[in-house]
Amino acid sequence: MPYSPRWMTGVCVQTPLRLVLTILAILWCGAPLPAARADALPSPPDAPSAAPGETQPPDAARQMAQLANEAAARLNENRLPEALDRFVKLFTLREENGRRVEAMTEMINVSRYLEQTGRRPAAIYVLQTACNLAMEWPPEPVVLTALTQLEQWLDAAQQWSHALEYATASAKLAIRLDRLSDASVQVKRAFDIAQRLNDWKSALNVLTHWTEVIQDKPEWKKEWADAQFILGVLMVKNVSGSAGVEYLGGAMTVYEATANLTQWQTTRSMVDAIYDRIIESLRDKLLFFNSYGYYLFLAAILFVAHLLRHRLGARNTALLAANWLFYAAMGGEFFALLLISTVCDYLVGMGLGQAASPGAKKRWLGVSLCVNLGMLGYFKYRNFFVENVVLLAQGMGIHLDAAVVQIVLPAGISFYTFQSLSYILDVYRGEIPPEKNFLTFAVFVSFFPQLIAGPIERTAHLLPQLAARFHVTAEDWLAGIQLILWGLFKKIVIADNLAPLVERAFSPQAPLDSGLALAGVYAFALQIYGDFSGYTDIARGSARLFGIKLRINFLRPYFAYSMQDFWRRWHISLSTWLRDYLYISLGGGRGGRLKTFRNLLLTMALGGLWHGPTLLFLAWGVFHGLILGAERMILGPLKELPQAGWKRLLGGIVTFHLVCFGWALFRAGDAAAFHHWLAMLTSGAWGPDAPRTAAFLLLNAAPVLASWVISARMTQPPVVVAEPSLHGLEMSPRWRLAAAVACFYGIVFLGLDADREFIYFRF
């Protein structure tokens, strides 16, 4: 995990900070401490004796006795800050005089007394201070006792990051003391806490160290095999199947040698399944944009297209074969759906062109809508509809039995269905003539750079380019390579680097930390932008290498000063599709403000469901629809940018945070996860690692923000209301070369990684 904050172990070592930390601990404790019982608190010795064989300096002995008496007295007088300060000083003095065991034992007793009297935070502070100071000691059993007790209290207080740190430390100390039974217990506790934190790297480190210790001990063979099995499962889930097989193979060897046939068979089945999955994933990920296979495929198709550049029919035939090969590799079992949609809409388009009456046109349109929306509805929304009908019936006291089947979503179906429908709707409205050449139309529906996740192209823009001879210039090559490198940079360097922080923030086991909740949603805003706009840039760059210019899909979206402005900048191909074919068909802005509000709400609700068949996606769409409707009712339609700088700045801040709240709905996955994120946000707790988190976010946001600022200054006036330009920004060759080199080295440093698929592949 690129981002894994750890608390500083030695924060209490420096003497000038001790008093401040003591006061903070007491402020944390709250109510006054009940009077100390004489039988509960060990009485301080009048004159501590020297350790055997040592001569205790008289001044040190008197100072220790005085500190012990003062600490006990102030504890009995409920003067807790002063008492704790003296206990820490007494601990340090005894340590300096070689009386470590006595010093630690006394701190354990004091902390237990504080815990028994209801002051666990103070008890944790005392024991944590002692343990931090004892980290550099030679191995001592009493320190193991203290670490174990501290870890248990931290775990009970849900301070899991601290608990993981001290559980790991106690496991390592038990290993150094050769107390393997105690080490085994602490390893299991550290592993459990790491799982709770979704910190698989810490879990991996703990178990790896443990297996290295016990691998040559015959009496620990079973435990070693079990640890290898868990390591294998962790590697399979979080790294790769091939990495996990090595650990599972070691476990299988021991299970076979010890005649543990049940566990051996379980592990063997898992290894076989992993090998099957590796083979399948190699096929599935062969042509992901962040895999090497895609660029080998792209180079081969470019070579063939260059050879056939003067023969339009042959070139489009080769391109169609490449498109279908690409889709077969990405979602082979659903290739028939793409073929059905292509053939159906080609025939419907021809029928619309020959229809002599409005009624005949409507019947042809109905055929296309039934076929395309029928396929989309079954594969994407069948289970959603069934589950919600059953829940609604149960709420009305009606019992229904309905089977929910496992349906795999075909790759790209939401995108190529909308693109094909846009052609039919344009022909139906008489805006374009039907395409008579099936080959050209099939290439239009299945053009591989934008087939899986857009941008959703319009017929009038893409089809004429495919029907003409390719004319590829040096500028096309330069712009295409630049777009591909920038898209890979946004995906690999920015989006994938932020993914672990997002996963932690939206985990149901995440601690109640407002800072983590905010960092998580800000990180997701950057992640989804880097991921989706990165894909779009790679698609546009790949098409540009063929001399084809795809539409711009993102235009500095987080610089938007209103929600209307945001949807003119974010996922432009989808937002304009919804506007032109759904919002306007519902009536658009005609009929008064209430009808406009209704039309916006319905359009965005359906846009939310387009992203996924869950109630949270529906809520995300409704949320945006409500904001857009409120803006239209209060401010009217967006016509021009506000001129006042402070208005734009204020609008931008408000809009960005409204969008981020919507992203929390979008990312949460289910209602329970979203409620947990809300509880984190409103908890008021701010972890001490907040500055590091902020620096991490700024580091990842800096390249994107810098590119936006540069492009905003180079595009005057800002392109917001008008249709976005289809051409890239004009940059000097020197700046383009510098940007390309920076992107290239960022990609090379982190490497192509098809294990993290693009987010919009799920839609």
Catalytic site includes residue 611: yes
- Report the C-alpha gap between 191 and 164 in whole angstroms: 8
DSSP codes joined into one string, 487-533 = HHIIIIIIIHHHHHHHHHHT-TT--S-HHHHHHHHHHHHHHHHHHHH
| SS3 category, 311 | coil
By C-alpha distance, which of 213, 221, 124, 228 is closest to 176?
A: 213
- Report the C-alpha gap between 434 and 427 in whole angstroms: 6
**DSSP code at position 46:** S
Element (H, E) at 267: helix 261-284
Separation in Å, CA 258 to CA 223, 245, 267: 12, 20, 14
- Report the C-alpha gap between 682 and 661 in whole angstroms: 13
Torsions phi, psi of 745, nearest 5? -70, -35
Query: Where does residue 368 rank: exposed (0-12), middle (13-18), buried (19+ CB within 10 A)?
Result: buried
Q: Which two tokens stand for residue 571?
A: 């996922």
Separation in Å, CA 593 to CA 54, 598, 629, 633: 91, 9, 9, 6
| Contact residues for 135 (Cβ-Cβ < 8 A; gap 6+) | 9, 10, 169
CA-angle at 561, arms to 555 and 563, nearest 5°: 80
Separation in Å, CA 719 to CA 378, 652, 680, 726: 39, 16, 38, 12
- Report the C-alpha gap between 294 and 520 in whole angstroms: 31
- Report the C-alpha gap between 362 and 584 in whole angstroms: 18
Of these residues, 571, 611, 624, 676, which one is catalytic?
Answer: 611
Residues with catalytic annotation? 611
